[in-house]
């Protein structure tokens, strides 16, 4: 089974010069925790995870005690956005990311999840265009279908 048959295709994609506000808007309502940075031809340039965004949005000097004392401070949020208004996707993205090609066997995805410590992988066409994403949920769903053919309890 190829990863192209189990990948998700409803991805959040942005250009390398997308602003922080644009990144946050692009991520809203998407199931994936990843933003994919692509060029005009749809080729993958990099990936921005939720963790990468939170690193930008949470000041380095903030500790748990300070965070607890803040309460519901909307001024803090406004200040963070103002401090980072010049931040764009290419400033945050990880350009050296693990990928799969569309014709990779789906078991290769699980091996990479384990080896690289990731939970989702971008799936690329041979020319580098982003086609989709395979994650552990898709893997489990596929295995349930596969095992359901030989195990009546899983049908």
- What number is the average pLDDT over the span 92-119? 92
Strand partners, 2: 105
Q: What is the CATH number of the domain that holds 48?
A: 3.10.580.10
For the beta carbon of residue 79, count every other beta carbon within 10 angstroms: 12
Where do we find the tokens 């300070």? 66
Tell me which DSSP letter residue 153 carries. Answer: G
Q: Which domain holds residue 101?
A: 3-154
Give the number of domains in the chain: 1
pLDDT one-digit tens code per residue, 40-94: 999 999 999 988 988 887 765 556 665 555 556 667 777 778 888 889 999 999 9
Query: Residue 137: which region, alpha, beta or left (left: phi > 0; alpha: psi -120 to 50)?
Result: alpha
Give the model's confidence band at 148: pLDDT under 50 very low, under 70 low, under 90 confident, else very high: confident
Of residues 24, 15, 8, the one with CA closest to residue 45: 15
Alpha-carbon span 69 to 65, nearest angstrom? 6
Percent of the chain with pLDDT over 70: 88
């Amino acid at each position: 089974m190829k990863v192209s048959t189990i990948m998700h295709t409803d991805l959040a994609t942005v250009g390398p010069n997308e602003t922080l506000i644009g990144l946050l808007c692009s991520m809203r309502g998407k199931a994936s925790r990843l933003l994919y940075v692509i060029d005009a031809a749809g080729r993958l340039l990099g990936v921005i995870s939720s963790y990468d965004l939170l690193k930008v949005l949470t000041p380095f000097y903030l500790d748990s005690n300070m965070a607890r004392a803040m309460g519901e401070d909307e001024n803090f949020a406004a200040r963070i956005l103002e401090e980072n208004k010049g931040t764009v996707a290419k400033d945050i993205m990880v350009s050296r990311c693990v990928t799969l090609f569309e014709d990779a066997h789906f078991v290769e995805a699980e091996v990479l999840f384990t080896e690289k410590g990731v939970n989702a992988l971008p799936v690329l066409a041979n020319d580098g265009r982003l086609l989709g994403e395979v994650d552990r949920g898709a893997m489990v769903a596929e295995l349930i279908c596969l095992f359901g053919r030989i195990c009546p309890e899983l049908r």
